[in-house]
């Protein structure tokens, strides 16, 4: 059975953000991730992590304006100066939280210029922070129309082209199923590149129980493949978070 982390941007939203760390620990999680933790003081988040003996698995590099703005901008031409400035700020934050991975969001873009911009930014970031595990993640077109990185073949080609030891793949099982329709085949194709995993039911993006994905079989499959990293619950609970956590005890 994999080791599970809680995405505090999705789970335990019945509580103020800073109280979710305690709730995650009380519910059996030993690690958490936060999409964009930048509205809180890093010192306060770090204190909560220490108080509850939680690991910070992942944070995202901040897009310009998540509330109504672009979803990242690593692939958006003419934004390289801003990318570098925000990357340096994000790395400082990640180090204070001892985050294991940082996701660099591509943003909405298309075409050859966007691809070259994306690869140039990723290569620069990997060189700028060689001690940090950086990840990219394909997102499906239904949830993120126009998002540049929207398929796994492109992601693997980019990773091969850059070939940086600290740059890998964030594998979201929900997005993989939505993009390809075959989660298990996609995992097998990508497994050598995967640094971090996220889960939710498809197509609802709710608790990882019902839907198109057989999660007991998937958990067994990734264990068999040798994956030993965290598997983060990134879904929208149908009720209170604690009422839907029985999936953590599903037999495999």
Which pLDDT tens digit goes with each residue over 191-212?
Answer: 999 999 999 999 999 999 989 9
Tell me the CATH number at 235: 3.20.20.150
Instruction: Please name the residue ranges forming H helices in the chain.
Output: 20-26, 42-51, 80-97, 112-128, 152-162, 173-180, 183-190, 215-225
Q: Residues 88-125, buried b or exposed e (16+ Cβ, 10 A)?
A: eebbebbeebebbbbbbbbbbbeeeebbebbbebbbeb
Q: Report the pLDDT value the prediction gives residue 62, as an integer from 0 to 100.
A: 74
How far apart are alpha carbons 163 and 152 in whole angstroms? Answer: 16
All residues at 6 or more sequence positions from 153 whose CB lies less than 8 Å from its CB, including other chains: none
Which of these is catalytic: 33, 70, 207, 234? 234
Give catalytic status of residue 23 as yes or no.
no
Q: Report the pLDDT value the prediction gives residue 110, as an integer from 0 to 100.
A: 95
How far apart are alpha carbons 64 and 169 in whole angstroms? Answer: 22
How far apart are alpha carbons 22 and 89 in whole angstroms? Answer: 27
Q: Report the pLDDT value the prediction gives residue 251, as an integer from 0 to 100.
A: 66
How far apart are alpha carbons 245 and 136 in whole angstroms? Answer: 28
Give catalytic status of residue 70 as yes or no.
no
Range of the domain at 44: 3-249
**Total of domains in the chain:** 1
How far apart are alpha carbons 163 and 171 in whole angstroms? Answer: 18
Strand bridging mode 31-34 / 167-172: unpaired
The two structure tokens encoding residue 200: 């939710």
Look-up of token digits 């760390």: 21
Which of these is catalytic: 23, 33, 70, 137? 137
- The answer to whether 134 and 166 have CB atoms below 8 angstroms apart is yes
Digit-by-digit pLDDT tens for the chain (252 residues) are 899 999 999 999 999 999 999 999 999 999 999 999 998 999 999 999 999 999 999 999 975 554 455 678 899 999 999 999 999 999 999 999 999 999 999 999 999 999 999 999 999 999 999 999 999 999 999 999 999 999 999 999 999 999 999 999 999 999 999 999 999 999 999 999 999 999 999 999 999 998 999 999 999 999 999 999 999 999 999 999 999 999 998 765
Phi and psi at residue 83, in whole multiples of 5°? -55, -45
Whether the CA torsion 62, 66, 71, 75 is positive or negative: it is: negative
Q: Report the pLDDT value the prediction gives residue 72, as an integer from 0 to 100.
A: 86
The two structure tokens encoding residue 99: 């985050």
């Amino acid at each position: 059975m994999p080791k599970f982390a809680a995405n505090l941007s999705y789970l335990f939203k019945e509580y103020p953000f800073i109280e979710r760390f305690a709730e995650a620990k009380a519910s059996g999680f030993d690690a958490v991730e936060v999409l964009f933790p930048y509205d809180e003081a890093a010192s306060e988040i770090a204190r909560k992590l220490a108080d509850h003996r939680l690991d910070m698995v992942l944070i995202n590099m901040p897009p310009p304006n998540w509330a109504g703005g672009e979803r990242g901008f690593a692939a958006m031409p003419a934004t390289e100066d801003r990318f570098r400035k925000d990357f340096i700020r994000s790395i400082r934050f990640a180090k204070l939280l001892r985050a294991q991975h940082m996701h660099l969001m591509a943003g909405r873009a298309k075409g050859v210029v966007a691809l070259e911009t994306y690869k140039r930014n990723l290569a620069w970031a990997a060189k700028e922070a060689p001690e940090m595990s950086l990840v990219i993640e394909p997102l499906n077109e239904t949830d993120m129309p126009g998002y540049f990185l929207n398929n796994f073949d492109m992601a693997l080609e980019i990773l091969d082209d850059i070939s940086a030891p600290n740059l890998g793949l964030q594998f979201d099982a929900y997005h993989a199923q939505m993009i390809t329709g075959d989660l298990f085949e996609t995992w097998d194709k990508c497994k050598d590149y995967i640094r971090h995993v996220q889960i939710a039911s498809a197509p609802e993006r709710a608790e990882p129980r019902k839907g198109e994905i057989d999660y007991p079989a998937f958990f067994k499959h990734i264990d068999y493949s040798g994956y030993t990293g965290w598997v983060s619950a990134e879904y929208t609970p149908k009720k209170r978070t604690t009422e839907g956590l029985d999936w953590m005890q599903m037999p495999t």
